[in-house]
Amino acid sequence: MKALIRPALIVFAALTLFTGTFYPAVVYGIGQALFSQQAAGSLLKSGDHTIGSSLIGQHFSSPGYFWGRPSATSPMPYNAAASSGSNLGPLNPALAEAIASRKAALLALDPGNTLPIPVDLVTASASGLDPEISPAAALYQVDRVAQARGLKETQLLALIQSHTQGRQWGLLGEPRVNVLALNLALDQLAAQPAMPSRDGIEQ
């Protein structure tokens, strides 16, 4: 029995040392050396303050900011601890009511906008944490943001263009705009504080 226990303990200790110490240390070192920004959570900063992550959306309701996709997480939008969608089917009356309510909120702040409302501004993503919107969704909001900020539409169009990411490797996905990064750039453009106390970028 002792002849079996001794090698078993040696193998157990060796595997524990390798998988619990050596391997994690190597992976951590490679991540920090080659992908430090991603390994740290893809965090976005304003000065010395960490504003959020480019991977997780934030809720914006002020007319002076670009809005992201609606979020169905609870008890608050973009709750990273409770990532989920609404799971409402296309024939569910609750989904139709939610979409109508979101359309009304957009039109109430921008009644003169005659552009078609992009679908990603009125429907939530499966995760509830989507940090990006389509370029069309960003362009739809230009008039409202320009009026609220006192900026020229051409300034915002240039800002959106500079923050539009193409398809991954030119093949996968669709062009997209990171809302938090866009709003940070918007604050810099408008020379306003990057962390408003309400309805702005969350600290």
pLDDT digits (tens, 9 = 90+) for 19-47: 988 888 888 888 777 766 767 677 777 77
C-alpha neighbours within 13 Å on the C-beta side of residue 20: 6
Greater pLDDT, 56 or 32: 56
Torsion of CA 106, 123, 38, 186, to 10 degrees: -10
Q: pLDDT tens digit string along 63-111?
A: 999 999 999 898 889 998 889 888 888 889 999 999 999 999 999 999 9
Q: Which helix (H) or strand (E) holds 165?
A: strand 164-165
**Per-residue model confidence (pLDDT) at position 193:** 46
C-alpha neighbours within 13 Å on the C-beta side of residue 116: 4
Residue with tokens 């969350």: 202
Task: List the chain domain ranges.
Answer: 1-40, 42-190
| Contact between 134 and 68 (Cβ < 8 Å) | no
